A and B are shown apart, each in its own frame.
Chain A
Amino acid sequence: MKNSLRAGFKRGSVAGLATMGATALVLAGCGAPPEAGSGSTAGASDYTGCIVSDSGGFDDQSFNQSSYEGLKKAEADLGIKVNQVESKTNNDFEPNLRAMVTAGCDLTVTVGFLLGDATKKQAEANPDSHFAIVDFAYDPPIANVKPIIYDTAQAAFLAGYLAAGTSKTGTVATFGGMNIPTVTIFMDGYADGVKYYNEQKGKDVKLLGWNKDAQDGTFTGDFEKQDVGKQVTQNFLDQGADIVMPVAGPVGKGSGAALKDAKAAGKDVKLIWVDSDGYLTAPDYKDIMLSSVMKQMGDAVETVVKDDKEGNFDNTPYVGTLANDGVQLAPFHDLDSQVPAELKSELEQIKKDIVDGKLKVESKASPKA
């Protein structure tokens, strides 16, 4: 009984699969073969740019992905060769980096503070190779490593001011993936922006999820569990918040889902994305996307590669600020009409003040000048 059933199932499935496979082949295999010897790539350079991810991988919708896209852009624009290797665990950092150096990379980009030690070790062992590390800086600096860091608090300050000025309920919220400096710098700036709004306007907009003085707040614990992000956001909504800024990579999608549900239930809620322009990178949440706090990592990586290719490498940290457009507040896109013109001009003025140094945005996690 059991055997015959199994055999029947097997025969049926094999026949079915074979038919499907044959159909697919017939449908797919009708193209014309290429002419022999037509495969040369034009304008290829000998310069090789390489990148090693941390355990997030190049599809993390965060700094690994942005940096990788920057390098791919350099490949397209500058005609360089690109080598990439993803780390699955912290153990892979050192072998991956060494393999990159052995493979003849001119510049190797490493992503994140976790790679700090491994990058330092390889840089010191290979003084002729160049390195760039995203979101980490050395003290003292290393001759052949260029840090790419961001004063994200500046752009997050604008986001905080915007949120406070747009909120209908007088309560806004933020939460992070983990309590680490690259995350809390967003939350610090956001908190200060809200505070500044309250000072200027004599209002009392409340911030949930982050206490700048205590340097503690709400965290989901990792950058993976979207359901936790949804839960946390739901809690914020229950406490009266109507604008939420998740600083947790893909976990932000959980937040977006909770806000979408709330909007479907008739609440006027909005989302502030981080790292990239969420209107473009998380289009599911277009209709609630107020703005984004952007770190232009791709551009920075491309610039560093370009400089190095032209022989202009140096180890001075690249610090992304509002002044050099390394960090920005994204356009309001579909929600443009919901931001009053007065608020827009105030934001312009604040941006100008920050760039001119009239307004100081300080975070414990800010790059030390």
Chain B
Amino acid sequence: MPEKHPPKHAANEPAGNAQEATSADESTAAVVSVDTAGGAMEPSAVPATAQSGQLPGGPDTLLRRIFTGSGMVSVLAVLLALIIGGLLIASTDERVATAAGYFLARPTDFLTAVWDAATRSYLALFQGSVFNPRGNSVAAQFAPFMETLTIATPLITAGLGVALAFRAGLFNIGAQGQIIVAGILAAWVGFALHLPLGLHLLLVLVAGIIGGAFWGGLVGLLKARTGAHEVILTIMFNYIALYFLRYLLNTPAFQRPGEANPISPILDPTAVYPQIFGTQYRLHLGFLLAIAATVVVWWLLNRSTVGFEFRAVGANPKAAQTAGINVSRSTILVMALAGGLAGMSGVAQVAGTEKVLTDGVAATYGFDAITVALLGRSTPWGTFAAGLLFGAFRAGAVQMQIQTGTPIDIVLVVQSLIVLFIAAPPLVRAIFGLNPRRRKPARAARSREAATTGGAA
């Protein structure tokens, strides 16, 4: 019996202190609250400061570089990735390999083949993602662009979730799990309940957003209350969500009657997003909601008090706390909002494109969303644009495979290269000679010379 007491007491203590501290924050001067934070409050709020490793550090932290980097670097990164991608495509091309066999006898063949392979692939990428002049009607010609928008939809909303958390100084790896939980709830409402048109879809959307917000908010809560690191929490929450989904798909409640495959029944027609430009395109209402979400996030971050608090916490949690901002509350709220946005992606999946729940419902959108947010430099419209770009890559990858036989992995390699260059702006600046700190033009020229002579030999 006496052994039971101390742990219980200990478990209660942080919460109690946090409450005291919260009231102290609100009622007394900032100085007092900082004193409280230094002492009694430790378990709740201070770890939030200390553990979000990227933020409080010097001017060279990763996040800061992402926020302050110029748009030029983004463009150059994409360009560089396309060039390297082109070389990779060429290296997998059969004609290039054949022509390389007699390179010395007729080098022009080799060079033409390289150029051909790369340009044909990128042309197919364009035709598969933006405009296909070979379509037999205007509708068919623009079908690729509609496909791009369709694929971009979940990327944009999940990307916004990740970006929002970035701005508050949280590295949210959990979009994948948030999409899955949202997908589970939204799909269940969609196929198990039978409701009238309008109400049903609304409920699907609400269920999805609540599911995502719950899964994200839980991470925020754990971080704010216990100081556990959000990266670890979100990664583990992804696993929990995925395996829970797999378990559910093996229960009859989530399977089709008479079948044992892990695939849910198809959602009711009343539960799915209407297709906004007719049935020949997959583009659905979710895209308009993604635009709306972008506007809301922009407003939230740039025009609202809450958004100001998020950014303040993201810039320096200690200073934010000193200024009277409730860091715990901001952490929970921003994670719940991030989860809700990711939840919209889950809804876009089950109610927009897939119309069923499988264990692949989140595809890789949760992780691609991190890339999208990074590429968009964590701004709402930047994320929107990055989502479109990635949507185009994905849509075009199909045509690239079919028309030229380029392996789909190469497309993913190009995407990954973009992220690599984005995440390391000094690398791009160094390659293009934009790095102000680098004053060794002579050496660079010499090594370039070595490369050319080597190649010619």
Contact = CB atoms under 8 A, between A and B. Distances in A.
Interface stretch (A93-101, A143-151, A303-311): A93-101
Interface stretch (B34-42, B43-51, B298-306, B359-367): B359-367
A29 B353 contact: no
A29 B104 contact: yes
Contact of B360 (A18, A25, A26, A114): A114
Contacts of B266: 117
A352 interface: no
Interface core residue of B128, B266, B364, B408 (most chain A CB under 10 Å): B408
B88 to A, nearest CB: 16
Contacts, number: 124
A15 B454 contact: yes
A7 B402 contact: no
Contacts of B395: 95
Contacts of A21: 454-455
B454 A22 contact: yes
A113 B249 CA distance: 14
B263 to A, nearest CB: 7
A315 to B, nearest CB: 19
A294 B102 CA distance: 44
Interface in B89-109: 98, 100-106, 109
B102 A33 contact: yes
A95 B398 contact: yes
Majority SS at the chain A contact face: helix
A33 B360 contact: no
A364 B102 contact: no
Interface in B256-307: 258-263, 266, 282
A139 B363 CA distance: 28
Contacts of A114: 263, 358, 360
Nearest to B364: A89
Interface in B412-457: 412, 440, 443, 446-447, 450-451, 453-455, 457
B113 to A, nearest CB: 12
Interface in A158-182: 178-181
A28 interface: yes
22 contacts: A11-B450, A15-B454, A18-B453, A18-B454, A22-B455, A28-B100, A28-B101, A29-B100, A29-B101, A32-B102, A33-B102, A34-B98, A85-B398, A86-B407, A88-B408, A90-B361, A91-B394, A96-B398, A100-B402, A113-B261, A117-B355, A184-B260
Interface of A: 3, 7, 10-11, 14-15, 17-19, 21-22, 25-26, 28-34, 55, 83-86, 88-92, 94-96, 99-100, 103, 113-114, 116-117, 139, 178-181, 184, 221, 364-365
Closest 7 CB pairs of A and B: A18-B454, A29-B103, A89-B363, A90-B360, A31-B101, A33-B102, A31-B102
